[in-house]
Amino acid sequence: MFNINKYNKEIEGIKKLRNAHVGLSMEKQVMVKNKILNEIARLPIENTSSGFWVKYKLKHLQYVLVFGLGVAIFGGTAYASSMALPGEILYPVKRVTEKLQLNVAVSEESKANLQAKFAEKRLKELGEIQKQKKLNMQDDESKLSTSTQPVLVSTTTPALEKPEVKIRAVKFKESKVEKDAKLEAQVEVKEALINLRKLQKKMSEQGQEARAKALGENILKLKNKAIEKDIKEDEEEIGERKEQNNFMKFEQETKLEIKERD
Amino acid sequence: MDINELVKLAKNGEANAFGELYDLFANKIFKFIKLKIQNPEEAEDVLQEVFIKAYKGLGKLKLEDLNFNAWLYRVASNTINDKFRKKYRTPEIVNIDETFDIADKYSLQEEVQVKSDMESLQIVFNKLPELYKQVLELRFIEEMSLEEIAKILNKSNLSIRLIQFRALKKVRELSKNV
């Protein structure tokens, strides 16, 4: 294939062109040489490894920067959201970050411990909300009692515009956030306790007493914290508490109505 | 001094050794450049660029089993290709009258009648596509192996053999018309 023997005549002819091809005159050759030598006097010889790394780094620098910026933005938002309470703008970011952490957790044990940690966070958030609610209520009441302008309640004033009713509406709004936070805490505490107990049982069966004991301590800690916040894990207890709450709400409303009538 | 010795010294930053390498290869490389870039001034600029690139790349060269000749041709080939790539991106406006002049000047029938065999072969060679010219120049004038040419032109061994075959066939065809 591609045998060139039959082209011997042409090959011989091309070989004779060696001297016919116009090269560089000596003058030009020296001129170009001087230019090159002047130029290279200012240049360092590229080292293999450093040259490669410089090129590699430059090529990937843009990706590193974009990735870094993304991490910084997400990290910053995630950090800022760690203090967020239910009902605030950054609260969903906090929950997403927690879900991500749970997905990344490798072992069952670390996952269960993380769940317990998050359940504790829910309880803490609930405490914060209740504290804020108390402060707001005190503030409202003090405003009402120190008001210099007498509250004129005419028979023609619509019920919704009465100041007491307005405060009540605000209280209701706040109590909705509180209610949701309580429910969230309840669910998370319950799930965390179930998983911790399951794992504790498994560890005991495998003879890993020390780890089972540590899990038991976590269970106890979480349970105590839940009781402090009036959270009970039992379904019946939850139902009971709901009824209690409804009754208290009804009582409060009735008291307010009686007050209004007086 | 041995080429590899000179390369070793140049690698260590000896400008004189690099100058000697230039003296040894400048003319050959210039001829190779001229196969594709006919304008002598442009070809000189490319020659300068080739040697500066070669100097910069000395650090990457491994001295074991070094074929500096083939490596330098490879640098030249890449530089020429870069030059053409840039040229295609910013094409020059060609005066149509000049193009006709060139066509008249190189009209085979008119020119070859009075030329000797050697001259007619040179005209035929000039009429070949650049890649054919490069392969024939490297193979029969610079007497390089097919492997070396394949490395320089960044092609497979087989495709160089094919190009060589087609180039010789084309030389015969064109010679018949002369």
- The pLDDT confidence band at residue B23, using thresholds 50, 70 and 90, is very high
pLDDT in tens, B60-78: 888 888 889 999 999 999 9
Cβ <8 Å between B168 and A4: yes
pLDDT of residue B37: 84
Question: Residues of A with CB below 8 A from B172's CB?
Answer: 7, 10
Between A176-180, A212-216, B23-27, B90-94, the lowest mean confidence (pLDDT) is in B90-94
Distance from CA of B90 to the nearest CA of A (A): 26
Q: Which residue type does A160 have?
A: L
Mean pLDDT for the stretch of residues B14-31: 91
How many residue contacts between A and B have a Cβ separation below 8 Å? Answer: 103
In angstroms, the CA B52 to CA A39 distance is: 8
Distance from CA of B154 to the nearest CA of A (A): 20
Cβ <8 Å between B47 and A16: no
**Backbone φ and ψ of A208, nearest 5°:** -90, 75
Mean pLDDT for the stretch of residues B76-95: 73
Q: Hey, what's the torsion of the CAs at B67, B73, B78, B83, to 10 degrees?
A: 160
- Residue of chain A with shortest Cα separation from B172: A10
Determine contact, residues B36/B80, Cβ cutoff 8 Å.
Answer: yes
pTM for this entry? 0.45
Between A149-153, A221-225, B71-75, the lowest mean confidence (pLDDT) is in A149-153
Cβ <8 Å between B162 and A2: yes
Share of chain A above pLDDT 90, in %: 2
Question: Residues of A with CB below 8 A from B117's CB?
Answer: 13
- The pLDDT confidence band at residue A127, using thresholds 50, 70 and 90, is confident
Between A231-235, B34-38, B64-68, B147-151, the lowest mean confidence (pLDDT) is in A231-235
- Residue of chain B with shortest Cα separation from A29: B26
Cβ <8 Å between B52 and A39: yes
Judged against a pLDDT cut of 80, whether residue B59 lies above it is answered with: yes
Cβ <8 Å between A33 and B19: yes
pLDDT of residue A73: 82
pLDDT in tens, B154-178: 899 899 999 999 999 999 998 887 6
pLDDT of residue B44: 92
Mean pLDDT for the stretch of residues B6-35: 90
In angstroms, the CA B17 to CA B3 distance is: 9
Query: Measuring CA to CA, which residue among B76, B35, B140 is closest to residue B68?
Result: B76
- The pLDDT confidence band at residue B143, using thresholds 50, 70 and 90, is confident
Judged against a pLDDT cut of 80, whether residue A160 lies above it is answered with: no
pLDDT of residue B29: 92
Between A211-215, A235-239, B12-16, the lowest mean confidence (pLDDT) is in A235-239
Distance from CA of B22 to the nearest CA of A (A): 7
Judged against a pLDDT cut of 50, whether residue A169 lies above it is answered with: yes
Cβ <8 Å between A2 and B34: no
Q: How far is CA A177 from CA A86, A88, A132, A134, A203, in A?
A: 7, 10, 11, 14, 38
Residue A29 contacts by C-beta under 8 Å, 6 or more apart in sequence?
B23, B26, B27
Question: Residues of B with CB below 8 A from A35's CB?
Answer: 48
Cβ <8 Å between B165 and A4: yes
pLDDT in tens, A1-39: 678 888 888 888 888 877 666 677 888 889 999 999 988
pLDDT of residue A137: 74
Question: Residues of B with CB below 8 A from A14's CB?
Answer: 121, 125, 136, 140-141, 171
The mean of the pLDDT values for chain B is 82
Angle separating helix axes B3-11 and B15-34, nearest 10 degrees: 120
Judged against a pLDDT cut of 50, whether residue A194 lies above it is answered with: yes
Cβ <8 Å between B60 and A23: no
Residues from B in contact with A at Cβ < 8 Å: 11, 13, 15, 18-19, 22-23, 26-27, 30-31, 34, 44, 47-48, 51-52, 55-60, 117-118, 121-122, 125, 136-137, 140-141, 161-162, 164-165, 168-169, 171-172, 175
